[in-house]
Amino acid sequence: MKENENSADLSQALEQQLSAYFSLYEAETAFKANIEKQLVLHASQHLAVGSVKSKKRLLPDVFYQPRLKWVGGILFFIIVLLSLFAIHPVRAIIERSLDIGYIEGAGFVKVSETDILNGPTYSAKPDQTIGIDQVVADPKKTQIWFHSTGTKFNPEDTNGEFLAYLDVNGHKLPLVSYGWNSIKQEGIFGFGSLGMTMPMSFILHISPDWSIPIRLIPMGQISAGQSMTLYPDICQTHRDVELCLRAFVSDSTGYHLWLSGSSGNPIFYLQALETRNPLTGEEAILMDSSGHQLNQVYPSQLPMPIEVAPVVSDVPKEVSTTLSFERSTNDNDSLDFLVAGLTGKTPADELIMCEPGKNPGIGDQFPCEKTMNIAGELVRFHTGEITQEKYHGIILTLRSDPIQSSNGLLLTGVDLENINDYSSFTIGTGFDVRTKQLELWFTVDPANPETLYGIRIIDAYLTILEPFQLSWSLNP
């Protein structure tokens, strides 16, 4: 212990036993080394993003000089006008604002100076398969997304050293970063630069047993069979949340939409684009001009988007996603895209205390009256109930009255924080779609039946009830 505390009155022997007992819960060395590498990778990416964000300016520095700002503005305006009339009018604007491309299997990537894999590459041995999902190479770095099935993947030797490297025309390009998600069984390798543009083919050596030849193609050559349109201004706003269609890609596998959402509400923010309404279960729908509805292609077939513009912010307000739909046999001239509702989050500071009474038994119900305002919604809890659950043991559940919508937003869940004295009882939350009831539950400790259960509601999840409908013409 760090403090020089007087523990003479405590049993030193028991304290030693407790320390020894808890030290049994030790981590494996390999895990510690792996997490350390992941943190280094994460820190490097964080720094890289910060550096790009701080340095990236669309125009030369002269345009940002205060005294020359107006001159710069006029010059820039002239350049834009010339572009509009001299080149393809819409394309000029789009390319300036959205310098991205779409690749099957990769999603949307930055167009400039990027070489990519044409499709997944697999390499198999009797007990393991490694699939290279995508390679994105530019003069500064090469990143390889991969997954593994079968035996547990471990790219390290017995000393914990990485053996992976790229063989580029006989030159060894060492691994500089590595990330591995053991749940999804997928990872990312990062390699440095040779100081020149990467060649189109090289060999990935993961270990002495794994050498996978990789052949890239330049971004510019992948447009065959695909038509891609970028849209700078197809957006719709409800409750200060804007949903935009950024790009539409049509290829043999279907239609792929890149959507982005952003919140202009200072407290309401989006963490992810949930294109399924938690109340109605409705999915995002794509519909052609004749009313024909196209079905969404489910996640196993969705392209894997590479993050185009990572958002580094305390409060995420901008998110993007891609959705794929099956191809229509009709000749479409326009399409509608409908999202039933979007879910965002807002801070909500409310306290609820509940006392089940002495020696509560299974099946007992007791009053727990509390009406609170959570993110503008009036929520009334009235009764608590003690039940038994297979894995959690005894549970105390509080249910609210049905929650009525207001202002086009509906409360659909909350984030909780335990505020009791040292207690560590488990708390959970849910929202019953059918009854529109919010449900809070606590694990009850039978050895300590008189506990007053207290939680703080720290965040509220709100769903926007109005549907977003984005309409666009395919042949402008």
Partner 1 sequence: MEENELIGLSQDNLLQFEPLFNRYFDRVFQYVFSRTNNRQVAEDLTSQIFLKILEALPRYQSRRPLAAWIFTIAKNAIYSHYRFTLHHPVQSLEEAGLIEANSASGSGGNSKDIDRYIDLENNINHLPIKDRELLRLRYAAGLSFSEIGTMQGKSKEAVKMAIHRILRKLESRIEVTT
Binding residues for partner 1 (CB under 8 A): 1-3, 5, 9-11, 13-15, 17-27, 31-32, 35-36, 38-40, 42-44, 46-47, 182-183, 314, 390-392, 416-418, 420-429, 443, 445, 447-448, 451
Question: Would you give the DSSP letter of residue 66?
Answer: G
Report in angstroms how near the CB of residue 276 gets to partner 1 at its nearest: 17
Number of CB atoms found within 10 A of residue 107's CB:
24
Q: Least CB distance from residue 187 to partner 1, whole Å? A: 13
Residue placing its CB nearer to partner 1 in the complex, 18 or 52: 18
The rounded distance, in Å, linking the Cα atoms of 144 and 117 is 9
CB of 306 closer than 8 Å to CB of 106:
yes
Residue pair 219/198 in contact (Cβ under 8 Å)? The answer is: no
Q: Is the CB of 42 or the CB of 171 nearer to partner 1?
A: 42
CB of 33 to partner 1, least distance (A): 11
Task: State in angstroms the smallest separation of the CB of 388 from partner 1.
Answer: 14
Q: How far is the CB of 424 from partner 1 (least distance, A)?
A: 4
**Least distance from C-beta 357 to partner 1, angstroms?**
17
Q: What DSSP element (H or E) covers 398?
A: strand 393-400
| 319 beta partners | 261
Nearest CB to partner 1, comparing residues 44 and 221: 44
The helix (H) or strand (E) run that includes residue 190 is strand 186-191
Least gap, CB of 25 to partner 1 (angstroms):
4
Given the complex with partner 1, which of 1 and 86 has the nearer CB atom? Answer: 1
Provide the sign of the torsion angle of the four alpha carbons 53, 55, 58, 62, taken in this order: positive
**Shortest Å, Cβ 132 to partner 1:** 24
CA distance to 161, 166, 204, 368, per residue, from 212 (Å) = 20, 10, 5, 63
Q: How far is the CB of 228 from partner 1 (least distance, A)?
A: 33
Specify the residue, 56 or 390, whose C-beta has the smaller distance to partner 1. Answer: 390
Q: Nearest distance from residue 272's CB to partner 1, in Å?
A: 14
DSSP state of 67: G
Smallest separation (angstroms) from partner 1 to the CB of 52: 15
For partner 1, which is the closer residue by CB, 9 or 127?
A: 9
Closest residue by Cα to residue 324 from 412, 255, 244, 241: 255
| Integer Cα distance of 426 and 442 in angstroms | 6
* Cα(71)–Cα(67) distance, integer angstroms: 8
Task: Give, for 18, the enclosing helix (H) or strand (E).
Answer: helix 12-22
What is the chain's percent helix, strand, coil content, to nearest 5?
15, 45, 40
Q: Which is nearer to partner 1, 22 or 70 (CB)?
A: 22
Closer to partner 1 at the Cβ: 220 or 428?
428
Name all contacts of 422-431 with Cβ < 8 Å and 24+ positions apart: 423/451, 425/451, 425/453, 426/392, 427/455, 431/278, 431/461
Burial class (CB in 10 A: 0-12, 13-18, 19+), 22: exposed
Angle at alpha carbon of residue 275, lines to 409 and 347, rounded to 5°? 40
Cα separation, 407 vs 196, in Å, equals 56
Structure tokens at 225: 């069979």
Nearer to partner 1, 229 or 400 (CB): 400
Are 144 and 132 contacting, i.e. CB atoms less than 8 angstroms apart? yes
Nearer to partner 1, 108 or 180 (CB): 180
Q: For partner 1, which is the closer residue by CB, 219 or 440?
A: 440
